[in-house]
A and B are shown apart, each in its own frame.
Chain A
Amino acid sequence: MTRTLFALIKRDLNLAWRQGGGALLGTVFFAVAVVLFPLGVGPEPNTLARIAAGVLWVAALLAAVVSLDRLFEADHDDGSLDGLALLPLPFSLVVAAKCLAHWLASLLPVVIISPFLGLMMRLEGDALGALVLALLLGTPGLSFIGAIGAALAVGLRRAGALLSLLVLPLYIPALIFGVAAVEAARMGLDPAPHLMLLFGATLFAVVIGTAAATAALKFDLE
């Protein structure tokens, strides 16, 4: 069972990384979106440091939404989702594995480049560490909550704008706790309570995202 799941994750990662997979597009989008802000509000270091956490988090949420259409769409279109449903595994595990692969391919790169963008936004020391840690703990939840929207919108035309409307309101807790952690560290306070709440929200997202996306996809397969 574990081997099948690993094979599934590896398959999704390969599909995302090879030509046409576009795994890095979301990450590039993240970088461009962040870079637009100093151009918009001016390069004054204190201003940038003040808005850095919010800008980086919002950009990460948008990067997640932008990459969601790949989560189930391709497998739905070419019929391989039907095949995956026939695996000798609970379908919810298949869905969870696909969400995990989505996080590894699309959002882990965002976490990896976030310290560089954080430095450019004038975050320093503990605040920068808190930012990376918060993104690491919070972004998996984005994949799982996003899976609900992706599963509900699968097969629809113009799913992109609809997806953002469905998913972004549900991302608000992650945004709030994630930014609060960075802000606490910037003020010299302990970010741990915020990080714990953030990870709690992520765990909740794993449970509810898997269950709801599975239910939505099952109906689509019937």
Chain B
Amino acid sequence: MHRFANPARFQRLASIILPWSDVLTAGLLVSGLYFALFASPADYQQGETVRIMYIHVPAAWMAMFTYSVMAAASAASLIWKHPLADVAARAAAPIGAGFTAIALITGMLWGEPMWGTWWVWDARLTSVLILFFLYLGYMALVNAIENPAAAARAGAILALVGFVNIPIIKFSVDWWNTLHQPASVIKMGGPSIAPSMLLPLVLMALGFHFYFVSVLLRRMRSELDLARVRALEDAIALNSEEAAA
């Protein structure tokens, strides 16, 4: 694993992966959107609004997947002090927050025609909203600490605490939901989903994953470049100080 701790090796690897993941992202999203918007049937109950699902469901999956990636990277950073793991966790957070926001917004847009309201305090919606706040808290903490090493360490601890707490929060929200309102909401999907709808969903989900890889690698690269710029600036400042002395 520490083979990839070398930033130069990572940059080389990233430049190999990036073209592939870019092409796959574009291909999967374009074909996924074609099937989602044109080549799949409208739902017999939900009509055309069912097409929101092809964005909404993959975004919700990615919201959880990204937090798992962050937690795994944070664990690697704390346990093995792997320098790139810090960068990865930090770079993943805004992407995850973005997916979570997309899931929430498309959920509201879908809820309005389906349930007649923009927001339902459904257990799932509420959990995703809380996940959004966990992302925001992580980003706020990491940005508030100036020393990069301290920020990475604090962020890693917070991400892991959040990860361990997510099942408990989820459980408590389900508990709360069953107490306050019996399932008034149409339960989505189930295992039986028509193949014509499954295909665009899978294409979009895969497209979202490769999009995540592309953006994550780019963000990690720019973080590494930024670290290098900072180091160079420090060196120049030190030199001019010595020259002045």
The answer to whether the Cβ of B176 comes within 8 Å of any Cβ in the partner chain is: yes
- The digit string for A208-221, where 1 denotes a CB below 8 A from any CB of B, is 10001001100110
What's the least CB distance linking B82 to chain A, in Å?
A: 16
With beta carbons under 8 angstroms apart, the residue of B134, B136, B157 that contacts A148 is: B157
B222 at the interface (CB under 8 A from A): no
Shortest beta-carbon distance, A187 to chain B, in Å? Answer: 10
Establish whether residues A180 and B175, one from each chain, have CB atoms under 8 Å apart when the complex forms.
yes
CA distance A148 to B206 in the complex (A): 36
Q: Does A152 lie within 8 Å of B176, measured CB to CB?
A: no
A177–B172 CB distance below 8 A: yes
User: Are B130 and A172 in contact (CB-based, < 8 A)?
Assistant: yes
B157 and A215 contact, CB distance less than 8 A: yes
Is there contact, CB below 8 Å, between B134 and A169?
A: yes
Assembly CA distance A197 to B175 (angstroms): 11
Looking at the assembled complex, report how far the CB atom of A137 sits from the nearest CB atom of chain B, in whole angstroms: 15
Asked if A183 contacts B137 (CB within 8 A), the reply is no
Using A169-B169, A172-B130, A220-B150 as known contacts, say yes or no to A152 and B175 having CB atoms under 8 A apart.
no
Give the number of chain B interface residues (Cβ < 8 Å). 28
Residues of A within 8 A of B165 (CB): 170, 173, 208
Q: Which residue of the partner chain, among A165, A169, A177, A216, contacts B157 with CB atoms under 8 Å?
A: A216
Q: Which residue of A lies closest to B149 (CB)?
A: A219
Could you tell me the distance in whole angstroms from the C-beta of B164 to the nearest C-beta in chain A? 6
Contact yes or no, B154 A173, CB < 8 A: no
27 contacting pairs across A/B (C-beta < 8 A): A148-B161, A162-B140, A162-B141, A166-B140, A166-B158, A168-B133, A169-B130, A169-B134, A169-B162, A170-B162, A170-B169, A172-B130, A173-B165, A173-B171, A173-B172, A176-B172, A176-B175, A180-B175, A183-B179, A197-B175, A201-B168, A204-B168, A208-B161, A212-B160, A215-B157, A216-B154, A219-B150
7 closest A-B pairs by beta carbon, nearest first, are: A173-B172, A176-B172, A176-B176, A165-B137, A166-B137, A152-B154, A169-B133
